[in-house]
Amino acid sequence: MVEADAAPSAGGLPEGNRRPSDAPAPAPEADGSAGEGASAARESDRPHGGHRQPSPPADPHKPEEPDAEHAPRAFHDDHRTLAHSGAPKNPPPPSPQPRGGLLMGRPFGVPVYVAPSWFLVAALITWVFGGQLDRVLPELGAARYLVSLFFAVAFYASVLVHELAHTVAALRFKLPVRRIQLQFFGGVSEIEKEAETPGREFVLAFVGPLLSLILAGLFYVAMQPVEPGTVPGVLLAGLMVSNLIVAAFNLLPGLPLDGGRMLRAVVWKITGKPMSGTIAAAWVGRALAVCVLIGLPLLTQSGALGSSAEDNVGMDTVMDALLAAILAAIIWTGAGNSLRMARLREHLPDLRARTLTRRAVPVETDTPLSEALRRANAAGARALVVVDAEGTPLSLVREAAIVGVPEHRRPWVAVSGLAQDLTDGMRVSAELAGEDLLDALRATPATEYLVVEQTGEIYGVLSAADVERAFVKAMARPS
């Protein structure tokens, strides 16, 4: 089955050193997850299925004075002022993760969804298996389609068991699982983080096919006392064979299949480099995709899969070629996604709250916007923090709201009317980096965040858009 590492994502503004006006902000990906990533993507079966040391902290008591060594880069390279920045109108916060279909339950606290595409494949299985039943048990008549529908549901219950095996192993290794989704060609377990060691990676991948093999064995044992030509006998035989196929297919040594994860773990163990394992397993996966595209129709035409060559003509040939093309596309795309995810994870430590933060100046609630902007521009700052009389931060002035106020009205507008109240989730540590930073932003979607030192002192303001641009830039860099 397919496991997917959910890709980290962030919403927001300009590249680390630029203003929003310098370039259009790219649309955030899903996952509230930016992309291949922290929704990702680790995939293991479709057809069934060093943080860098943070730089020394800036003096938290003097946020207005730019510091050539420690201040965020945005204040060195950008000489435009906050008052003239052309931020897009209200850049949207990261969108919530799509539900993924019909919620069926929450085993082990992990939501299980059935995607709309499942109903399509269930209908297809019902039709195909019903045709086979007509040859084996013609006396069933139209009732054969009810039996076929039961088989489709039972088969996907087996797929769910396969995915639950991945999920239980991930939870055992303290790896968060966002959801399980049953879809067109099997299932996917969305595991949000990478395994820490190659041994855990191997186990995490192997448990899925192992459970499918165990299920096949259980169905075989259950067949023994049952008469072969009966409905229970045919159903048990079909479930045994389908679970064997699921296990065998997922053990193929190429990403995104479970066997590809196992190969990645082996190469990782030998070389000590997870990236080397990913590259090897991904290219083997692409080779598998080509083999499936070409080899599956040829095997069917030759009769090697059980039917005579004379029978494999016409519509059957077209269906075999279509199935091979879909499987090959899934494997090829999954392998490519795994390569992109690995490159992203390699560069994620470069995303550091301290280096992406904008210098900010504190202003009181009744300060006119024009005066607040004058102070910010004099200090070389690009953000405003609304504080009370004791200097405690209360809210953040939204950049998009500033742009929406005409210049002639700014002396009459108080900053408090343009600010977003601070919540606990909008306070992030200046020490956050990589996936930890993205996880913190995903947990509380917002356009700006207050960055604080470990002592609680204000360091500055982090724009979600700056993080997004740095994220996209990291993805674009070659490994």
**How many CB atoms sit inside 10 A of residue 457's CB?**
15
d(CA 184, CA 181): 10
d(CA 207, CA 214): 10
Q: With H, G, I as helix, E, B as strand and everything else as coil, classify residue 46.
A: coil
Closest of 187, 117, 131 to residue 155, by C-alpha: 187
Q: Which class for 6: exposed (0-12), middle (13-18), buried (19 or more C-beta within 10 A)?
A: buried
Q: Cβ contacts of residue 275 below 8 Å, gap of 6+?
A: 342, 343, 346, 479
The amino acid at residue 396 is L
d(CA 5, CA 436): 15
Q: Cβ contacts of residue 56 below 8 Å, gap of 6+?
A: 69, 70
Closest of 90, 66, 89, 92 to residue 79, by C-alpha: 66
Which two tokens mark 391? Answer: 């200097």
Which two tokens mark 151? Answer: 């088989």
Query: Is residue 77 a contact partner of residue 362, using CB atoms and an 8 Å limit?
Result: no
Label the pairing between strands 186-191 and 177-183: antiparallel
HEC string for 54-84: CCCCCCCCCCCCCCCCCCCCHHHHCCCCHHH
DSSP state, 447?
A: S
The CA-based dihedral angle spanning residues 397, 401, 403, 405, taken in that order and rounded to the nearest 10 degrees: -110
The sheet that has 419-421: what strands, in order across it?
360-364, 383-387, 393-397, 419-421
Helix axes 144-172, 116-136, angle to 10 degrees: 130
Overall size of the chain counted in residues: 479
Asked if 163 is an active-site residue, the reply is: yes
Options 3, 15, 43, 163, the catalytic residue: 163
Identify the residue whose tokens are 């003096």.
59
Q: Which class for 324: exposed (0-12), middle (13-18), buried (19 or more C-beta within 10 A)?
A: buried
The amino acid at residue 60 is P
Label the pairing between strands 102-105 and 2-5: unpaired
Query: Is residue 82 a contact partner of residue 377, using CB atoms and an 8 Å limit?
Result: yes
* Residues classed as catalytic: 163
